[in-house]
Amino acid sequence: MRRKNKARRILWYECAGFLCIILMSWLDELLSLPQRLLGGASCSNWREAAMESIVTLCVWFGVFVFTRKIIGRLHYLEGMVKMCAWCRKLDQDGKWVPFEEYIVRDMRTKTSHGMCPECEAKMLDQISEEV
């Protein structure tokens, strides 16, 4: 849940930044900020501000979509479980726990042991070789 809140916060900051850019564009046109600060003739052009807003919204949409896709991919990758290739223990917040313990603790499922047909055949071959 915390990860989703972080993702939402990132997207909100991104939206707020683009909104500030659009707001500055309109303030520039409505208040003639450069002319007031630096002097010179005042010429307001609302069409320019509208065009800047449209271009900014198009850029925002592209950035927003890609940022959402990247955040989704990160959540997917962070959700993967790391397993030791040798002993099959799983990494759970820096602590390596046996697979069965992980299943019982995190998935609240009971486990039992069995043997797949391939392993059974290997075991029977080993027993017959030893005898």
Residue 102 burial (CB count, 10 A): 19
What per-residue confidence (pLDDT) applies to 116? 86
**Contact call for residues 31 and 44 (beta carbons, < 8 A):** no
Q: What is the pLDDT of residue 60?
A: 95
Mean pLDDT by 10 residues, the chain (131 residues): 77 94 86 74 76 94 94 80 84 85 78 83 88 73
Do residues 58 and 93 touch, judged by C-beta distance below 8 A? no
Q: Which of 124, 102, 13 is nearest to 60 (CA)?
A: 13
> What pLDDT shows up at residue 47?
84
Could you write out the DSSP letters of every residue in 55-76? HHHHHHHHHHHHHHHHHHHHHH
Q: What per-residue confidence (pLDDT) applies to 111?
A: 73
3-class DSSP state of 91: strand
